[in-house]
Structure 1
Amino acid sequence: MTRAVKLRDDYSASDLRRLAARSRHANAARRLLALAAICDGANRTDAARVGGMDRQTLRDWVHRFNAEGPDGLRGHQHTGPACRLNAAQQAELQALVEAGPDRQRDGVVRWRRVDLKRVIEERFGVSYHERHVSTLLKRLGFSHISARPRHPGQDTGVMEAFKKNFPRILSAHTGHLPKGKPIEIWFQDEARIGQKNSVVRQWARRGTRPRQPADQRYANAWLFGAICPARGKAAGLALPFIGTDSMQLHLDEIARCVARGAHAVLLLDRAPWHTTGKIRLPKNVSLIFLPSRAPELNPVENVWQFLRANWLSNTVFEDINHIIDVACSAWNNLSALPQTIQSIGLRKWAHTGQ
């Protein structure tokens, strides 16, 4: 029988257990515990069992420990072969992917792996398999995701200026209030909830295509929603119609949800029923209109995504009453999750100093 390899003696069993308790590497911790068992006099079979390995593997780790100490027990991750594109070529490819293809030059409106395979070969003289293009893109920090629609008239400069100047905008809308009065930042929006509903992604066995019911009828209701991210508070109404009267009801509901003695500043888009002079604004609410065609500035857009993904999609609604009941239930579920409201709604540009 092969003689057991002697373990270095500059670490005691208690030292090894202390290192195992502090280690952030689970595999290194169990190897340290196996070595600690050896220090306590356990035979190599029992020590290997402590570390969840066989005797030969334990022997290998003893050699590593003797040569490198505790750091040698972490293991070395294999990074794979070096990239065949140099740093400059990788940077050029990264810029090319971010810029997207030119329809006239490249003949496509989005990059596919086969297109990038061709471009890499033409520009850099390196031939990759189409599957490896995905590996290369992930290494460069890309993932295959759906694009979000953007209005062609959107002005990103206006959006950035709004965020940068928001403290001054807020001060201009609250300058008439008594000094020291608490200010709450609220966001408001509406969403159509209807029988022509959406379906969402779900877990399913690989190779299958799960099916969900999808109605083709057109009855719908409107969910008016507002959140105060700093307080984790929500105020919503599910109504069968949209317009000035509905907006008035929602403003009154928001006013009731504002903390006693505080004043709410409500950020919302420029829909006609928001800007009409027929609205009677509650005394504890002021309005700030977001730039046109800038839904990204309104976190309630993300609230709608959350509600649809968890409680509204994959559902067939029987009639308008059923729609309103489900919409109310979904909003009440959200209202019971203040931390989720904060996570979805807090924006650094709006809540600095809040």
Structure 2
Amino acid sequence: MARPLKLEIAESEDELKALLRRQKTAQGKERVQAIYLLKLGRVKSVSELAIVLGRNRVTVQEWLAAYRHGGMKGLLTRRRQPGRQGTIPSWAVKALQKRLADPKGFRSYGAVQQWLSDSLGVDVSYMAVYRLVHGKLRAKLKVGKRQSTEQDPERLQQFKSELAGNLNLLKQVFAVPHSSQPRRIRYWCQDETRWSLTTICRRLLSAVGVKPIGNMQWVCEGFWLYGVVEPLCGEQFFYEFSHLDSVCFQQFLHLFAQQYPDEFHIWHLDRASAHIAKRIQPPANVLLLFQPSYCPELNPIERLWQHLKDSLSWQLFADVPALRTTVRQRLTQLTQEVVKSLTGWDYILDALFVAGIS
């Protein structure tokens, strides 16, 4: 015959019932339920309680012992199992996390292993590094964003921080004194990209252990696509040319001015030789705002080009007319919402808001 269970329960039935409802885990619920059943007097022994809960008698005894020594707090506090000590000490893991936050990253898991040895004096196996970096820290190899060695990070940040002030100044210059209907000012991002018959390579999805294969052709024939997009509202204007030079760029400026003659336009663009040539004469309603050299990441139209080329990856074209037809189809499918989502970068939209350009 089982011995009667003696346990002093400090909480009332209502308190236990409310506490039971507040539990968010199954482990917490069944532990509070054990005390609640004892409080109601529905079970008289540890064996009966174990049967009702579907738990081993020893497990229930451990719960009750925890309650006796620490009350409800002791009962609900789960002891962490010590487990096996990691091969990489915690201080080294923290240092590695900080190093992984550096955009320069590591070339491989082997490079991480070498860094741990050289910088921290921690010698571990390749598999230990892989399990930590890939499994626990959730870091993985990615395609790096290319950056010129001649880029000046200070000038890049300066362009971003001073954009609102520059736009506000230009707005004052463009303003017509005593005009009842001032002309609207619009901000555009301009660039060119080349399309050729050479296959656009991108990543392919395949099963584990299967190396994907993509058919490739190397043919240089193609054309240049000139474009401007408006990040604020998603408006776009494209035109095809045979070359990237000052003659074609000047013609593109005139075509744009004819298409949008009623507003002032600010073009954000890079310092390509075709853009800064002495022969370039912008139309009266277009002003060119040049970004710092070697900073393509400042121009959101680059992301639009990537979006378009991703959609044509691994496609093979027999000739330039076939390529041209497909590119034109992709351009007609571009909605203003898509363009805004791709080019509406925060630093530009914030500057436009501060300058009062809408």
Q: TM-score range by the shorter chain?
A: 0.5 to 0.7
Length-normalised TM-score, structure 1: 0.67
Q: 1:159 aligns with which of 156, 160, 163?
A: 156
Aligned alpha-carbon RMSD (Å) = 4.3
Q: What does residue 295 of structure 1 align with?
A: 296
Q: Residue 176 of structure 1 aligns to a residue in which SS?
A: helix
Q: Check the 8 A contact 2:188/2:228 in 1, yes or no.
A: yes
Q: What does residue 337 of structure 2 align with?
A: 339
- CA spacing shift, 1:80–1:278, aligned 2, 3 Å: farther
Superposition deviation, residue 272 in structure 1: 2.3
What pairs with 1:190-229 in structure 2 (closer than 5 Å)? 190-229=192-231
Superposition deviation, residue 291 in structure 1: 0.9
Structure 2 residue 271 is matched with structure 1 residue 270? yes
- CA spacing shift, 1:211–1:141, aligned 2, 3 Å: closer
Q: Residue 306 of structure 2 aligns to a residue in which SS?
A: helix
Structure 2 residue 237 is matched with structure 1 residue 235? yes
Q: What does residue 319 of structure 1 align with?
A: 319
Q: Residue 271 of structure 2 aligns to a residue in which SS?
A: coil
Q: Residue 328 of structure 1 aligns to a residue in which SS?
A: helix
Q: What does residue 37 of structure 1 align with?
A: none
Q: Check the 8 A contact 1:223/1:237 in 2, yes or no.
A: yes
- CA spacing shift, 1:81–1:229, aligned 2, 3 Å: farther
Percent identity, please. 21
Q: What does residue 44 of structure 1 align with?
A: none
Q: Residue 92 of structure 1 aligns to a residue in which SS?
A: helix
Whole-Å Cα distance in 2 between the matches of residues 224 and 80 of structure 1?
61
Q: Check the 8 A contact 2:237/2:256 in 1, yes or no.
A: yes
Structure 2 residue 346 is matched with structure 1 residue 348? yes
Q: 2:191 aligns with which of 189, 192, 196?
A: 189
- CA spacing shift, 1:231–1:98, aligned 2, 3 Å: closer
Q: Check the 8 A contact 1:240/1:324 in 2, yes or no.
A: no
Per-residue deviation, residues 190-225 of structure 1 (Å, max 9, x unmatched): 111101222211222222233333222220111112
Whole-Å Cα distance in 1 between the matches of residues 286 and 84 of structure 2?
61
Matched residues, number:
296
Q: Residue 175 of structure 1 aligns to a residue in which SS?
A: helix
What pairs with 1:7-26 in structure 2 (closer than 5 Å)? none
Whole-Å Cα distance in 2 between the matches of residues 93 and 80 of structure 1?
22
Paired letter, 2:163 = F
Superposition deviation, residue 86 in structure 1: 4.8
Whole-Å Cα distance in 1 between the matches of residues 290 and 240 of structure 2?
23
Superposition deviation, residue 327 in structure 1: 2.0
Q: Check the 8 A contact 1:189/1:300 in 2, yes or no.
A: yes
Structure 2 residue 174 is matched with structure 1 residue 177? yes
Deviates more, 1:199-208 or 1:223-232: 199-208
- CA spacing shift, 1:96–1:280, aligned 2, 3 Å: closer
Whole-Å Cα distance in 2 between the matches of residues 149 and 292 of structure 1?
14
Q: What does residue 36 of structure 2 align with?
A: none
- CA spacing shift, 1:192–1:122, aligned 2, 3 Å: closer
- CA spacing shift, 1:133–1:261, aligned 2, 3 Å: same
Per-residue deviation, residues 207-258 of structure 1 (Å, max 9, x unmatched): 2233333222220111112211110122112333332343234334444665
Q: What does residue 36 of structure 1 align with?
A: none
Q: What does residue 92 of structure 2 align with?
A: 89
Superposition deviation, residue 122 in structure 1: 6.2
Q: Residue 193 of structure 2 aligns to a residue in which SS?
A: strand
Q: Residue 173 of structure 2 aligns to a residue in which SS?
A: coil
Q: 2:132 aligns with which of 120, 131, 136?
A: 136
- CA spacing shift, 1:227–1:136, aligned 2, 3 Å: same
Whole-Å Cα distance in 1 between the matches of residues 188 and 285 of structure 2?
12
Whole-Å Cα distance in 2 between the matches of residues 351 and 339 of structure 1?
15
Bigger Rg over Cα: 2
Paired letter, 1:343 = S
Structure 1, unmatched stretches of 5+, are 1-7, 20-24, 32-55, 102-108
